[in-house]
Each structure stands twice: as structure tokens, then as C-alpha cells.
Amino acid sequence: MDPQIQKNLSGLYGGFHSARIKASSDTVDWEELQIKGREIKKHVINNLDHYLELLESNVISSGGNVYFAETAEDATQYVINLAKEKGVKTVVKSKSMLSEEMSLNEELIKHGIDPYETDLGEYIVQLAEETPYHIIAPAIHKSRQEVSELFADKIGTDQTENIETLTSEARDQLRDKFIEADMGITGGNFLVAETGTLALV
């Protein structure tokens, strides 16, 4: 593995570990909450049919629609059909590993729909026409210089290795896409069956 990528990953994991220690020390009953969370997860998995039906019922009663796809292809086709039905030309997407596994961006493009990633790492990878390097940090393999050169080439910005400037340049590009987009696509970090709520973290 490239030494710079090893260094980047080491810093990433070190940062996550430090943040986890801080969060656990700042949270009352951290261990008990972990145990409770595991118990809830196990219970839901063991009773998944019930909770999916409850979720579906509550989403529909709140005005939403639910579609159960048997395959990635079915899910992709559902999104494509919905986009075509609504006359969608541009889509903004939040970070979603599921959409990566479905190759959703490629399928949208094949049908004349332009997808734009809104997560900075995913946006960098999209501009570079690459796949995410890491589930949490998609562009961890890119140096500041590489990102600067990529932005200069793809969006016409001046080269800089200042992280705040690079982030601001990406934000400026994406802000217009947010406003212009015909459709938004997100994942769901967790769903609350009792209320039909989708939560993003």
C-alpha cells in the first residue's frame, strides 16, 4: 500500500478512536446504552418482517411511498422509472454505500440524468471518475495537491493546497446543484418503524 495512504488511514482511525473515547466519557451509562442497542438490534432482526410491515404502514400513513425491491436491479429500475415519470434531469445524492453497490450513478447517466454527490469525499471521487477508496472516507487516497489539480481541471478553480479553500470551492459548486436539482436521493442511517421516520446522521 502507498505509504501516504497508510498515513492517511492511520490518522483517520486515530481520530475516530479519540472521538469515540471522548463521546463515551461524556455520555452517562455508555456501557448500558451499548448493551441496550445490541439487544434492540437483535430483537429487530429476529422480528424483521413485523417491523418492515409496521414501518411501511407508518410511512404510508404519513404520506410517503414504500417499494420493496428484491434485487439491486429492481431498486435501480424503480429510481430510474420514478425520475423519468417526474421529468428529472439532475439529482443530488447524499453519501450512500448502497447506491454505490447498485451502481446508481452510472445507471442514471445512461438514462440522461446527471447525478451530483454532495458528500465532499464522494464529490472528489466522482470528479476523478473513480470508486470510493474507503467506506467512511471515500477520497482518503487523494492528497491536497491531487484534489487541487482535479478541481482546477474539472471545475476551473485556481490551484491551492489550502483545505478550507478547496472545501469552499466544492461548496460553491454544489450549492447551485442543490437549488437546481429535480430530485434528492439519500440513504437512511436508521428507520423508526413506530413512526415511519427516516434518520440521517
> Which residues are within 8 A (CB) of 97 and not within 5 positions of it... i.e. 6 or more apart?
132, 135, 187
pLDDT reported for residue 11: 75
Local confidence band at 97 (pLDDT 50, 70, 90 cut-offs): confident
Residue 141, exposed/middle/buried by CB under 10 A (0-12, 13-18, 19+)? buried
Spatial separation of the C-alpha atoms in residues 111 and 114, rounded to whole Å: 9
Local confidence band at 166 (pLDDT 50, 70, 90 cut-offs): very high
Residue 177: C-alpha distances to residues 117, 118, 151, 171 (Å): 10, 9, 16, 10
User: What amino acid is encoded at 177 in this protein?
Assistant: K
Q: Record the pTM.
A: 0.80
Q: What percent of the chain has pLDDT over 90?
A: 64
pLDDT in tens, 16-73: 778 888 888 888 899 999 999 999 999 999 999 999 999 999 999 999 999 999 999 9
Q: Which residue has the higher pLDDT, 78 or 176?
A: 78
pLDDT reported for residue 85: 97
